[in-house]
Structure 1
């Protein structure tokens, strides 16, 4: 089934049912490859969000009491459905986000890694037990789900991110409300069908479409216990401060300015190939995309720039329906205009335009939101295009004299999501990994994104809050710990009152 065959006006998914919007507000959903409106998505009012939360709250106690084994059975069935209906998911991702089929398939595979991690929840929920800590008292801990939790997901990974930040929440016993990006609502609704088919009880998985009004209700509503968010840094900061103000647990993942350090001893042909895919894949609309190369040594910079330039000029952009496409359009016309403004501004500030992707030839025949790959060098740290994240195919090259200068440039940047380095020197690699102040680090790896069983998260203004996406830390984020001390005295035991603070001593702890 393709998006065009679905109902023109979309719905929410509340309490196990597709629910029409009642606010009267709608947003257009585009196919970025054609520029055409393919659907309208309802934008929920605060009252609609409150109703959805109430259904989730009502459903939560029974799911909490469901054995972890039974909950994992649902996740196993859900995983199998993701595999069986992979082609349908790929089609939906491509039509609403403009990704290539290969990229969409990779996103799904990465999302399934998070489901696999959630299936291991029984191991992660085990507590601790201590026998006779004193006075015949045993002490142990237990983990309990939080209740109703909310996830606010971005447009660039409509399947992977929702799976990454909800699978564990479901597995450990929470009720989850997903607010997907209004630009890519179809994927979330399809995931809802799969959860329901897998046997997840009604109310445990909710999709509420909306804009800032819906988000503000999630942030303020007293029945939402935790918020996870992925998006831009300004919004992540807003989510974090507003959510914590309302006493919620918050993990808000922001943007990144992810650099690739290129050392003189690197294999420049291999490094250029790595840079190409990491920088321009998915039209550079990844928070872990390489934003630019910091090249050590003037001669290395010249050679690297020439190699990359030749490869960039051979990249092919187009619709996912075409063969041998390297990447597709950006998500909206507004996004395209913003990226062009960054390019224009960089040239005005003195950057050199190595390749110009502002007006690709495909725009002569298509109304899609296409931009070709742009490469700029002679970029300096005071330029706007160096300081800010550009969510589109405009990448930069910066020249430095030493590795230490490269490390200092990156450490001085306000964002610290990911970074990588290409070298054949173990000594340089060791210095780099020890001194760099970034959350996810790669060495001779194009995109340093962890696999699903390692924690994901940046440093500095790339992440707000202590939670992580992916990995075992998710089980901690979506649960709360309870510590129990118990003692079973003999019926005939003679006890007297004690007014001393309890301590571990030769006498019984009172």
Structure 2
């Protein structure tokens, strides 16, 4: 059984940990590899390498730094099939979903190649006679990313290309559930002829996370995960003087008005709820119909029932398993909780039987109708293929319900009314808004926003926020005395 190693200072090195965790295919329970639990000593080795590299990397002109990103983009594109297969094997999502993930990752590499322009400062001449003032952007130093299991390829690339293009060095800690994807990426990084130590990767669990949050050599930390852990990472990182951007969980509401297009809306909503088996922070969770809803309810149930579930490398499959057996147990218990609270089960996917994959962590599409709007299930991020379907009389009540949500990652509306769409865009309390869109995922040029308990920090991943996060500003006020200035 392969035991995964860390990538430090341009070399593959064994962890100092003595314990390892199995990396399991969630569809078959096959053990794919073993990943080290990690130690603070591993963190220290990566930070030392990154600090040594930073001294010279920050001096390299931005135009030369991005040449490595151009090369990385080409390598990712050339190896996208193998990288996508790896994601499917270790995370369970379908091959099509895995490949789409890499398209978004590569998009961020492309965007970061514009750093020579994006990183420019400001200049004001003669703020006073003979005195000029200007602002420049400089890199922070060693930056780190703590990545989740659900997007093992894309999410590190919300941060990595911007960080190194701005002149920082970077340490990645992939989720111990899905470490193979970034291991493959590091194999490509090793082909870049990048200066040793600019990019490092370490494996591990909580002790490694704490080591990263406490290490004085790490200046900034990027995190994506549950809200509880995001709050912990933000608090502990900030207490240790670090910049932190911590993306948390969500309970994304989708409003369907009676004037919405039936076929388009139901297809998009079903794709949004069940894509990646519901294990994404932009998955639609609570579907709110406003006014007449019988036709929408019937269509949602029918389409959900038809969605095929199975092993993600099977081209006919539309939805894979959840990540672990514990996740399956948790989601099933939340479905039961919804029923106990008074919800009506329109579609039950708890007893999924997939031929050839009987040991897999499969839950088929599930729909619970009329859950209590202020019950436990309505406020809990399920992170599984479960649609909560509720019916509300007016758009005013629907928006009020959306804004009462403790999360604020995404909110969407389906309507043919520009008036209602504009009102929703203006009043909905969420960082990413979708109008006739089921997954409001920003492209690389825009920040991946999040409000309330869905985000802890000030600057998000991607776009101009990434430039702000990975640089610090320096203001210079200078005077060059000349004889002629004394005449004025």
Give me the TM-score of the superposition, normalised by structure 2: 0.98
**Which residue is 1:310 aligned to?**
302
**Which residue is 2:34 aligned to?**
40
The residue correspondences of 1:100-111 to structure 2 (distance < 5 A) are 100-111=94-105
Is 1:445 the counterpart of 2:426? The answer is no
Is 1:367 the counterpart of 2:347? The answer is no
Residue 141 of structure 1 aligns to a residue whose secondary structure is strand
Is 1:154 the counterpart of 2:148? The answer is yes
Equivalent of residue 471 in structure 1, options 463, 476, 479: 463
- Conserved? CA contact 1:339–1:391, under 8 Å: yes
Equivalent of residue 88 in structure 2, options 79, 94, 117: 94
User: How many aligned positions are there?
Assistant: 488
**Which residue is 1:184 aligned to?**
178
- Conserved? CA contact 1:377–1:397, under 8 Å: yes
RMSD of aligned alpha carbons: 1.4
**Which residue is 2:251 aligned to?**
257
| TM-fit CA distance, 1:365 | 4.7
| TM-fit CA distance, 1:205 | 0.6
Q: Give the Cα–Cα distance (whole angstroms) in 1 for the partners of residues 204 and 373 of structure 2.
A: 37
* Unaligned runs of at least 5 residues, structure 1: 1-6, 495-505
| TM-fit CA distance, 1:74 | 0.5
| TM-fit CA distance, 1:366 | 2.1
Q: Which whole-Å deviations, capped at 9, do the CAs of 1:458-484 have from their partners, x for residues lacking one?
A: 100100001111111101100001111
Is 1:124 the counterpart of 2:124? The answer is no
Q: Give the Cα–Cα distance (whole angstroms) in 1 for the partners of residues 484 and 451 of structure 2.
A: 59
Residue 246 of structure 2 aligns to a residue whose secondary structure is strand
Q: Which whole-Å deviations, capped at 9, do the CAs of 1:41-65 have from their partners, x for residues lacking one?
A: 0121112211211111111111100
Is 1:409 the counterpart of 2:410? The answer is no
Residue 260 of structure 2 aligns to a residue whose secondary structure is coil
| TM-fit CA distance, 1:330 | 0.6
* Unaligned runs of at least 5 residues, structure 2: none
**Which residue is 2:476 aligned to?**
484
| TM-fit CA distance, 1:323 | 2.5
| TM-fit CA distance, 1:17 | 1.0
Q: Which whole-Å deviations, capped at 9, do the CAs of 1:281-326 have from their partners, x for residues lacking one?
A: 11011100001211101x32x2211111111111100112322111
| TM-fit CA distance, 1:199 | 2.6
Give me the TM-score of the superposition, normalised by structure 1: 0.94
**Which residue is 1:340 aligned to?**
332
Is 1:200 the counterpart of 2:194? The answer is yes
Equivalent of residue 50 in structure 1, options 41, 44, 54: 44
**Which residue is 1:174 aligned to?**
168
**Which residue is 2:449 aligned to?**
457
- Conserved? CA contact 2:129–2:485, under 8 Å: no
**Which residue is 1:419 aligned to?**
411
- Conserved? CA contact 2:234–2:245, under 8 Å: yes
